[in-house]
Chain A
Amino acid sequence: MESIVGLVITIQLQCDVVSNTEIALDIFDMTLDAPEIARVAHAGQFLHIFNDSPDMLLPRPISICAIDAESGRLRVVFRAKGAGTRLISRKTRLRALGPLGNGYDTSSMSKKILIVGGGLGVPPLLELSRRVAEPQVFLGFRDEASMILQNDFTEAETATDDGSFGFCGNAVDLARRKARDFDLIVACGPKPLLRAVAGFADEKGVPALVSVEERMACGIGACVGCVIKTKSGYRKVCVDGPVFRADEVVWDD
């Protein structure tokens, strides 16, 4: 798959939290000082963040939202969902492993990209949008209060499920109406959205790349804990993904 890069190098690091802002209820926008990781990270890759607390042994996978290789900083945007991400949201220093996963190979991507993001699936798409020329961006959120990052994109159209802001519906519905000519869709968000993207891409006869989630342990391909079902059998989200071709994924389960 030419628009996906392979695992290059993985680093474990203690890093300082340079800034941390609650940008919506329970959603944190955090900047980490992680030069060794920032230098080698690609758009679409993720980090494992550890809690170093005996009741939470496993890492929390969090996507890289923006990369500044020069200043050595990484930005992550995440929701304090359960105990683990809540604890991370209060940290001033943390242990991270990364970059993990395949990510997007932006150098070999086509010129006319359609980006579709839903909710907490929006963060990993930001860095991508900066690395490709004039993408069309469509973002969807539950309601106005849970909107994030829409102003960080150079240009983005927004939908909300309840119509409290912008288009009423999801990001795929919006893209269906508004998208001009495109030859690749890149999407991240909840599974129903990704499935809809897969259908949309199929209709249009264009390929789609989707970022999927699964529970993880090692994050480096060793434990086979994080698989999803694909047409070529179970594949590991942490190394074969999180970016998969939509037509490779088996959606009906």
Chain B
Amino acid sequence: MIDMSVEIAGVRFKNPVLTASGTFASGREYSEFFDLSRLGGVVVKGVSARPWEGNPPPRVAEVYGGMLNSVGLQNGGAERFLRDDLPFLRKFDTRVVVNICGHTIEEYAEVTKQLQNSDIDMLELNISCPNVSEGGMAFGTDPSMTARVVEAVAKAADKPLIVKLSPNVTDITEIARAAAGAGASALSLINTLLGMAIDAKTRRPVLANGYGGLSGPAVKPVALRMVHQTARAIDLPIIGMGGIMTGLDAAEFLLAGARAVAVGTAGFNNPTAAADVISGLENYMEESGFKTIPEIKMIYN
């Protein structure tokens, strides 16, 4: 018998496959295609204290091996999430992780408070948002700004806190260490890589916003490297993501040192992608003789 379950910060997941924030909304749309109870967990779309309008369209662009998005974290706010989305998601036997975002440390703390005493399993803190009080620089690109926002959220949180790291940094372990020191119970990585697409014919950026976040198979080598570096440097469980399309991709992240994985962009190509990754990973374990997830380890000579 294969046991695919994993534990992250005291929370048990039936398998190590989650959905990546912002690619799966709150699960309702995808529940038409497979039973959400198959998932280890659903990480919901970024939720802020108040509704966010998001960026003007076009918001998505296809690029080689992936896509760019500049959705701008459009969402209806925490109140609406708790009222309209959470009850639906709770009908399924899966872990619920709520991804939170803010423009200031106060906004991050506020949304964390709004989620206190709610029926969720974990929080995931997206620190890739621009800090409006610091000229729009992303929180997650600076260790001291990271420490401050993580500390504020950890203080207000009544659930274990995952900090989601931005790859748009020189040394990811430095940010990871700052998050760990400020109260993170787990880390997730990577968020999207900042990119751009230009239409040579119209001589204009494809996205109305100009820049957008790159995701999909194109980012996998970068994501694997960053998971590997972080796993060696910091003693916290890691949820790895970035371009996972198959069970083998997921296995690569576990080998790199992640305890769990998340599937995002793949779902736009195939609505059952997350479920297919679970079956694919199970096949990999069977073929390779692994009985549990922690046995999946890299060989170094």
User: Using a CB–CB distance below 8 Å, which chain A residues touch chain B?
Assistant: 9-10, 12, 50, 54-59, 84, 97, 214-229, 233-234, 253
Q: Which of chain B's residues have a CB closer than 8 A to the CB of A215?
A: 57-61
Q: Which of chain A's residues have a CB closer than 8 A to the CB of B56?
A: 229, 253
Cβ distance A45 to chain B, nearest Cβ, rounded Å: 15
Is the Cβ of A97 less than 8 Å from the Cβ of B271? yes
Q: B5-13, B17-25, B129-137: which lies at the A interface?
A: B17-25
Q: Which of chain B's residues have a CB closer than 8 A to the CB of A219?
A: 268
If A229-B56, A234-B53 touch, whether A223 touches B269 (CB-CB below 8 Å) is: no
Query: Does B267 belong to the interface (CB within 8 Å)?
Result: yes
Among B32, B33, B265, which residue has its beta carbon within 8 angstroms of that of A57? B265
State the 4 A-B residue pairs at the shortest beta-carbon distance, nearest first.
Answer: A225-B60, A222-B25, A222-B29, A217-B268
Among A214, A220, A221, A225, which residue has its beta carbon within 8 angstroms of that of B69? A225
Is the Cβ of B268 less than 8 Å from the Cβ of A59? yes
If A218-B267, A227-B54, A234-B74 touch, whether A58 touches B67 (CB-CB below 8 Å) is: yes
CA distance A162 to B81 in the complex (A): 53
Q: Which of chain A's residues have a CB closer than 8 A to the CB of B29?
A: 218, 220-222
Please provide the chain B residues from 33 to 59 with a CB less than 8 Å away from any CB of chain A in the complex. Answer: 33, 45, 53-54, 56-59
Query: Does B272 belong to the interface (CB within 8 Å)?
Result: yes
Query: Does B66 belong to the interface (CB within 8 Å)?
Result: yes
Q: Which of chain A's residues have a CB closer than 8 A to the CB of B300?
A: none
Cβ distance B260 to chain A, nearest Cβ, rounded Å: 21
Please give the number of chain B residues whose Cβ is less than 8 angstroms from any Cβ of chain A in the complex: 34
Q: Which of chain A's residues have a CB closer than 8 A to the CB of B165?
A: none
- Give 11 pairs: A residue, B residue, CB < 8 Å, sorted on A: A58-B62, A223-B22, A224-B25, A224-B71, A225-B59, A226-B60, A229-B56, A233-B53, A234-B54, A234-B57, A253-B56
Cβ distance B45 to chain A, nearest Cβ, rounded Å: 8
Q: Which of chain B's residues have a CB closer than 8 A to the CB of A218?
A: 23, 29, 267-268, 271
The residue in A225, A226, A234 that gathers the most chain B C-beta atoms within 10 A of its C-beta is: A225
Query: Does B217 belong to the interface (CB within 8 Å)?
Result: yes
If A54-B65, A224-B71 touch, whether A216 touches B32 (CB-CB below 8 Å) is: no
By secondary structure, the B interface counts as loop
Q: Which of chain A's residues have a CB closer than 8 A to the CB of B270?
A: 12, 50
If A220-B30, A222-B25, A222-B29 touch, whether A58 touches B58 (CB-CB below 8 Å) is: no
CA distance A97 to B53 in the complex (A): 28
User: Using a CB–CB distance below 8 Å, which chain B residues touch chain A?
Assistant: 22-25, 29-30, 32-33, 45, 53-54, 56-62, 64-67, 69, 71, 74, 216-217, 265, 267-272
Is the Cβ of A214 less than 8 Å from the Cβ of B57? yes
CA distance A55 to B64 in the complex (A): 5
Q: Which of chain B's residues have a CB closer than 8 A to the CB of A97?
A: 271
CA distance A88 to B273 in the complex (A): 22
Among B23, B45, B60, B74, which residue has its beta carbon within 8 angstroms of that of A58? B60
If A10-B32, A56-B62, A58-B60 touch, whether A224 touches B268 (CB-CB below 8 Å) is: no
Is the Cβ of B57 less than 8 Å from the Cβ of A228? yes
Shortest Cβ distance from A58 into B: residue: B62
Is the Cβ of B64 less than 8 Å from the Cβ of A223? no
CA distance A50 to B53 in the complex (A): 30
Is the Cβ of A57 less than 8 Å from the Cβ of B60? no
Q: Which of chain B's residues have a CB closer than 8 A to the CB of A214?
A: 57-58
The residue in A56, A218, A222, A234 that gathers the most chain B C-beta atoms within 10 A of its C-beta is: A222
Is the Cβ of B272 less than 8 Å from the Cβ of A216? no
CA distance A227 to B74 in the complex (A): 10
Is the Cβ of A222 less than 8 Å from the Cβ of B30? yes
CA distance A97 to B267 in the complex (A): 12
CA distance A27 to B224 in the complex (A): 43
Shortest Cβ distance from B269 into A: residue: A57
Is the Cβ of B67 less than 8 Å from the Cβ of A54? no
Is the Cβ of A54 less than 8 Å from the Cβ of B268? no
If A58-B268, A59-B268, A234-B54 touch, whether A224 touches B24 (CB-CB below 8 Å) is: no
Beyond A54-B65, A223-B69, A224-B54, 19 additional pairs, beta carbon < 8 A: A10-B32, A50-B269, A54-B217, A56-B62, A57-B268, A97-B271, A215-B60, A215-B61, A217-B60, A218-B23, A220-B271, A222-B23, A223-B22, A223-B60, A223-B71, A223-B268, A224-B25, A224-B45, A226-B57
Shortest Cβ distance from A220 into B: residue: B29
